[in-house]
Amino acid sequence: MNVNSEIDALAQETFAHLAEQGNLSGAYTKTRSWFKNDKRRLHIVQRYDAKDHAPVILKQVFRPEDPTEFNGILDAHHLASQALQACSEQHAPEILVEDRALKACLMRFQPGETLRDLCETHEDHADILMQTGRWLSAYHRGTFEQARGFQPKFMARHMLHLADQMQTGARRIKGQKRFVALAHQVQDMVADYEGRPSKIAAKHGDFNSHNILIEGNRTAGFDFLPISHAPVGYDIARILLSYALTAVDLDRIPKGHVLPPEALAAFFEGYDFVPADDPSVGFLLRIQILSDWNRMSDKKGVQNLINFERLRVIARRAFA
């Protein structure tokens, strides 16, 4: 029996346990399984269906073994649910029952399609981007911590630290000569953004085009990382670059931009917690390019190679 088969069987046992804890009625059967298995993570997501009952989703984590991160993820999900409870259209999937010792939870099934899937089947992305912006704006508004002057120097220094590691041979990545040049170029941008007013809110942490579901006017974000607070531009940069990498015609990106202006305008038609010219947005979009550049070098596979080449094109446009 391979690893996926083993954890699939274990997860089904966990489902039976949680279904009993949550007093779920109905003869539920497993209909889908999804796995994530890499050096750091091993987890499974399963869908269960029963006649005349709403589907439910099981998520169980096997690696890392330390429950701290999983507990933090659950706490972040609950925070999002509380932050969005007054919203009629934006929410996080309802957690029905959880078992922190087993690192598992059951959630109500959320209908819809991801941002990425919708962009593959729709030529016009404006409404999809607007809906995505509305969800993130509601989440940031509901977890708002404080208004504060933006401080770009910390991320700029981190990029310089990575560049120094590459120049000394401590780290090697694809295209590192260009990365080093861009990391130094970022230092020249700091003064233009330093101290300008921005807002701090809870980060989703991994708000990419896979982690939001859209159905009509209803949207749901999920797969949060443990709670931390940061300038709102972190999540905005993450989702917009994820969108650009997977769905944008790169020839439509003008020099000095990360994505086509009409795409940015569509997103901010929905996102109204800060304007598009917020300093954390402009600066952190460039930082996100370098972060993804550094991160992608540890990954293999055809799709990663395609995304990396697309990222290099976006970098040429953005830093022109």
Pick the CATH number of 114-318 from 3.40.50.300, 3.10.310.10, 3.90.1200.10, 3.40.309.10: 3.90.1200.10
Name beta bridge partners: 212.
Answer: 221
pLDDT tens string 30-58: 999 999 988 889 999 999 999 999 999 99
Q: Among residues 306, 179, 311, which one has the least CA distance to residue 242?
A: 311
Residue 250 corresponds to which amino acid? L
Output the average pLDDT for the chain: 96
Query: pLDDT value at position 300?
Result: 79
> pLDDT: is 301 or 184 the higher one?
184
Residue pair 76/205 in contact (Cβ under 8 Å)? The answer is yes
* pLDDT bracket for residue 1 (50, 70, 90): low
- Give yes or no for residue 180 having a pLDDT over 90: yes
- Give yes or no for residue 9 having a pLDDT over 70: yes
Q: Among residues 250, 227, 234, which one has the least CA distance to residue 75?
A: 227
- CB atoms closer than 10 angstroms to residue 215: 13
pLDDT tens string 89-139: 999 999 999 999 999 999 999 999 999 999 999 999 999 999 999 999 999
Cα–Cα distances in angstroms (integers) from residue 121 to residues 32, 86, 113, 116, 189, in the given order: 22, 31, 10, 9, 38
Query: pLDDT value at position 40?
Result: 86
d(CA 104, CA 230): 28
d(CA 5, CA 129): 38
d(CA 33, CA 60): 11
Q: Please give the structure tokens belonging to residue 144.
A: 């708002």
What contacts 110, CB < 8 A, 6 or more positions away?
57, 93, 213, 220, 222
Over range 76-85, report the average pLDDT.
98
Q: Please give the structure tokens belonging to residue 208.
A: 């990419």
Q: Among residues 259, 199, 185, which one has the least CA distance to residue 235?
A: 199
Residue pair 46/4 in contact (Cβ under 8 Å)? The answer is no
Q: Using DSSP, state whether 172 is helix, strand or coil.
A: coil
Q: Please give the structure tokens belonging to residue 148.
A: 């504060």
d(CA 46, CA 212): 18
Task: Flag the least confident range among 128-132, 225-229, 275-279, 305-309.
Answer: 305-309
- 3-109: CATH topology: Phosphorylase Kinase; domain 1 (3.30.200)
- Give yes or no for residue 28 having a pLDDT over 90: yes
- CB atoms closer than 10 angstroms to residue 164: 13
Torsion of CA 113, 114, 119, 122, to 10 degrees: 10
Query: pLDDT value at position 282?
Result: 96
For residues 224-235, one letter each, b for 16 or more C-beta atoms within 10 angstroms of the residue's C-beta and e for the rest, the string is beebeebbbbbb
Task: Flag the least confident range among 24-28, 32-36, 166-170, 226-230.
Answer: 24-28
CA 288 to chain centroid, in Å, comes to: 12
- Give yes or no for residue 150 having a pLDDT over 70: yes
Parse the chain into domains and list their residue ranges: 3-109, 114-318
